[in-house]
Structure 1
Amino acid sequence: MKKALIFALSLMAGSSMAQKHKTSGNPLFEGWYADPEGVVFDKEYWIYPTYSDAYEKQVFMDAFSSKDLVKWKKHSHVIDTAAVKWAHIAMWAPAIIKKDDKYFLFFAANDIQDNEQEGGIGVAVADTPEGPFKDYLGKPLLDKFYNGAQPIDQFVFQDIDGQYYMIYGGWKHCNIVKLKDDFTGFTEYDDGTTFKEITPEGYVEGPFMFMREGKYYFMWSEGGWGGPNYKVAYAIADSPFGPFERIGVVLQQDQKVATGAGHHSMIKVPGKDEWYIVYHRRPLTETHHNHRVTCIDKVEFDEQGHIKPVKITFEGVAPNKLK
């Protein structure tokens, strides 16, 4: 009861701050949510997070939409384990792509620890971004360990030639695989391999990739997700395969604001060089590993194209309505 009151007060403080400055406030919405995937669909911003609770309670995912980054609408249970018969617990870290007027939601489930357990990375499909999403394959897309990478934390990236890649991996290993055009599996590279490891120094989990001015930016989370020192680092390369040499940390805790800032995604405003980082963090009032909230802050680049360290805030960001 006491913690619930403290959390409510922190939300009220953030809301008051947002009203004062006419910004989104952080956290963006009420509730424990982590690993957020931010994306733009049809002139709306969307965020798909993990429901942050005990594994056995992580049996659904909610989504949130906004026209201006400030006011957010909740879409409850866009997917749940009732629609995915092989998923039982630990539905994590959604990644979403729109293709051919369909929305494909990639997710991890069951937190498998070896190749004998059921689970891994799955795909669901819907006609609208709010779902409901249904299991696309009737089985996991990926249910085995390759190059030491646990099949979790998938991100789907479309290269400039149209090819879709899935970048994924926990347990300090990251792979990139070439998706078939219909997302039913993977295709081999020219050298006959399927799983290429691109793990940079310091990598733990939570990969994300984007392009800017012809360069490939690769980002990932470091540290322990349940602790205060979770953070995000990055590298830049000329190819989605790297090599990725770690440049530095761009997101981390601020002991005056929050701890455990990590597992992020990036939102680019269409047609503009304007960027936001969507991430989770732990309020200063909380120590439980599942007590995480979703936040947003502005991202800026220097003249060399390096990402400037992000200042995490209570204010969040100003309204930015899509045209």
Structure 2
Amino acid sequence: METIKNPLVAGWYADPEARFYEGKYWIYVTRSATDYKKQTNLDAFSSVDGIRWTKHEGIIRMEDFPYVTQAVWAPTILRKDGKYYLIFASNDIHRNEEPGGIEIAEADRPEGPFRSMLGRPLIDRFIYGAQPIDAHLFGDEDGRIYLYYGGWGHCNIAEMSPEMNGFIRNKEGNLFKEITPPGYVEGPCMMKYDGTYFLMWSSGNWTDGTYCVNYCSASSPWGPFQKTETILEAQEGIADGPGHNGYLEDNKNNKLYIVYHRRYIGDKEPGHRVLCMDRMEIENGRILPIIMT
């Protein structure tokens, strides 16, 4: 992936989650539209070289989710025991009484089709003030799997059950724990590198140039997460409002890449977001500021 041309693909896409499965790079995305009613499924892109991408359209069997009518957002995916588990947000709920929240689906292939596991949301309410959106699955080296999620300025963590159909109680006896770092808005992404846990997230407003990516680090997936640094923000002459990131590891060349969406400078249409990727470097336990290309 030495030659990166941004945006990676044509069209409006946002909230990328990136993985390496079955010999290919995969990026799962929100269909970026200002009108939430047009966001009724998710797409994915696959590539063997990180340069040429194949589109996989409509990867969820939405007939399994009859109560979901809009705002299908922010995919996260994880492979476990030969199955692929896809988690995404639905309906942009604003109170517990509304249908939707965070959904979970499964498939035998990374491109789907993904079918409902539960017949209901995985999380259908506000917990510790976190809107149930923007989930991120993180598999640790000890086999434990964690879910990070949350909008409206609150971030929660929960450990997934072995069956991936619920959560395990933590040492405090609760299913969820709030771990909101300073300045958090939405879009958490957990990465472990050289024994350190790096929690990245988005701050600012997703509709304009203030959107950016911050991070902090800890010695545990549970935190505490304290010191905040900005690593990706508007860059003069390149782009505005970069945020809601995932990441890819190029193990062959020992390189890291941040995958994110950004905006064209001066474009005021909220849904106009494009899919991009750039190098990410870590030195002395710190993620260095990202230079957009």
TM-score computed with the length of structure 2 as normaliser: 0.96
- Asked if 1:144 is matched to 2:125, the reply is yes
1:25 counterpart residue number = 5
**How far apart in 2 are the matches of 1:159 and 1:65?**
24
Question: Cα offset for 1:80?
Answer: 5.1
- Residue pair 1:275, 1:298 contacting (<8 A) in 2 also: yes
1:200 counterpart residue number = 181
- Aligned residue pair count: 292
Q: Which runs of 5+ in 2 are unaligned?
A: none
1:8 counterpart residue number = none
**How far apart in 1 are the matches of 2:85 and 2:182?**
31
2:198 counterpart residue number = 217
Q: How does 1:1-323 map to 2 (within 5 A)?
A: 23-53=3-33, 54-79=35-60, 81-270=62-251, 273-284=254-265, 286-302=267-283, 304-313=284-293
Identity of aligned residues (%): 47
Determine which structure has more spread, i.e. the larger CA radius of gyration.
1
Which whole-Å deviations, capped at 9, do the CAs of 1:102-122 have from their partners, x for residues lacking one?
A: 111100000000111110000
**How far apart in 2 are the matches of 1:269 and 1:85?**
39
**How far apart in 2 are the matches of 1:65 and 1:241?**
31
Which whole-Å deviations, capped at 9, do the CAs of 1:85-106 have from their partners, x for residues lacking one?
A: 2211000000001111111110
**How far apart in 1 are the matches of 2:240 and 2:204?**
12
Q: Which amino acid aligns with 1:157?
A: F
Which whole-Å deviations, capped at 9, do the CAs of 1:25-69 have from their partners, x for residues lacking one?
A: 110001100000011001110000100011000001111000011
Q: Which runs of 5+ in 1 are unaligned?
A: 1-17, 314-323
SS in 2 for 1:255: coil
Question: Cα offset for 1:272?
Answer: 5.7
Q: Which amino acid aligns with 2:107?
A: A
**How far apart in 2 are the matches of 1:180 and 1:152?**
20
- Quick check: 35-44 or 240-249, which moved more? 240-249
**How far apart in 2 are the matches of 1:27 and 1:191?**
44
- Residue pair 2:130, 2:150 contacting (<8 A) in 1 also: yes
Q: Which structure's residues are more often helix, by fraction? A: 1
**How far apart in 2 are the matches of 1:81 and 1:199?**
32
- Residue pair 2:64, 2:119 contacting (<8 A) in 1 also: no
Name which structure has the greater RCO, CA cutoff 8 Å, separation 6+. Answer: 1
Question: Cα offset for 1:191?
Answer: 2.0
Q: CA RMSD in A?
A: 1.4
Which whole-Å deviations, capped at 9, do the CAs of 1:192-250 have from their partners, x for residues lacking one?
A: 11110100000000001111111111110000111111000001110111111233100
- Residue pair 2:132, 2:150 contacting (<8 A) in 1 also: yes
